[in-house]
Amino acid sequence: MSTSEAARGAWSATLAFMVWGLFPLYWIWFTSIPHLQLLAHRVVWCALAAWAWLLLRGDLGWVRAIAPRTLLLLSVSALLISVNWGIYVIAVTSGHVVDTSLGYFITPLVNILLAVAVLRERLNGPQIVAVLIAAAGVLWLAVTLGAPPWVSLLLAISFALYGLVRKLVPFPAVPGLAVESTLLLLPAVAYLLWCEHKGTGSFLHGQPLNDVLLVVGGPITALPLALFAYAARRVPMTLLGVLQYIAPTVTLLLGVVWLHEPFGVSRQVAFGAIWIALAIFTADGIWRYRRTRSRVAA
């Protein structure tokens, strides 16, 4: 692979994580729209955007060949990502942007625990230390705030489980998103129609800007995923592992600096512990990657 392709991949990944990090700026616009309606609109417009992308690329040959087991696993991943999206939308529109940031900082460490519990992988010394430090940070936050950081934990667990299921079904990113959103499409459309029947619908009712932004939710959901899929084929996983922290870092800065959410000593200590854990985890991953490459080269 050429250097220019690798550079384009790195820039694509950076842009994808920047878009994900800036997502709260989009969702906080809709504080007047019920959460379930927001989730349903995201499903509908995401499905349309994903299929439009695949149609423009002529990438539909996989549709006839999709296996029943693949469809079953994608049904499970669709349920998990809908839970993740729902928690995220509720959190952001309720003033918990910092908590969503913490959730996505925790996610890589939850991935490690799932790899041990489900895939029977074994942790090395640095990974054990990283998990223990992160757990101490979460426990500190739970004790000092009087309750576990449920938003952060549920976001991390649901997204980590989603990643595990997608690992078990090797399927391209955008086609997978198209299938997942299509599986959720019928209940989403049914719910939106029911809202219209009850007179509580928010779409096409005198707020054109809201209507346009709801439709835009589809492309901005699919775009970073397509960028990430492009990057994943062109840059090392170690680089992707480092770049993934762009998104929660940007979200944290948005929550603290722009939205003025509280970031007191309890959260500072918890975030500090998790950042230390992630630094250990990332450094260990880079070291093992370089050692593997040197052995292959030898």
Per residue in 153-181, pLDDT (tens digit) is 999 999 889 888 888 887 888 888 899 99
- Residue 7 is predicted with a pLDDT of 79
What does pTM read for this prediction?
A: 0.86
- Residue 13 is predicted with a pLDDT of 85
DSSP conformation class of 284: H
Distance from C-alpha of 15 to C-alpha of 235, rounded to nearest angstrom: 14
Buried b (16+ CB within 10 A) or exposed e, 246-263: bbbbbbbebbbeeeebee
Given a cut of 90, is residue 135 above it in pLDDT? no
pLDDT band at 113 (very low <50, low <70, confident <90, very high): confident
Higher pLDDT: 3 or 112? It is 112
Given a cut of 90, is residue 192 above it in pLDDT? yes
User: Which range has the top average pLDDT, 76-90, 135-149, 210-224?
Assistant: 76-90
Helix (H) or strand (E) holding 107: helix 97-117
- Residue 298 is predicted with a pLDDT of 58
Q: How far is CA 33 from each of CA 195, 203, 257, 292, rounded to the nearest angstrom?
A: 12, 10, 25, 51
- Residue 26 is predicted with a pLDDT of 92
Cβ atoms of 120 and 242 closer than 8 Å: no
Distance from C-alpha of 156 to C-alpha of 278, rounded to nearest angstrom: 14
Distance from C-alpha of 23 to C-alpha of 98, rounded to nearest angstrom: 13
- Residue keyed to tokens 């990438």: 59
Which residues fall within 8 angstroms of residue 8, CB to CB, at 6 or more apart?
230, 234
Cβ atoms of 76 and 165 closer than 8 Å: yes
Given a cut of 90, is residue 293 above it in pLDDT? no
Distance from C-alpha of 282 to C-alpha of 242, rounded to nearest angstrom: 7
% the chain with pLDDT above 70 = 95
Cβ atoms of 252 and 98 closer than 8 Å: yes
Given a cut of 70, is residue 225 above it in pLDDT? yes
Nearest to 41, CA basis, from 193, 156, 159, 155: 193
Distance from C-alpha of 152 to C-alpha of 140, rounded to nearest angstrom: 14
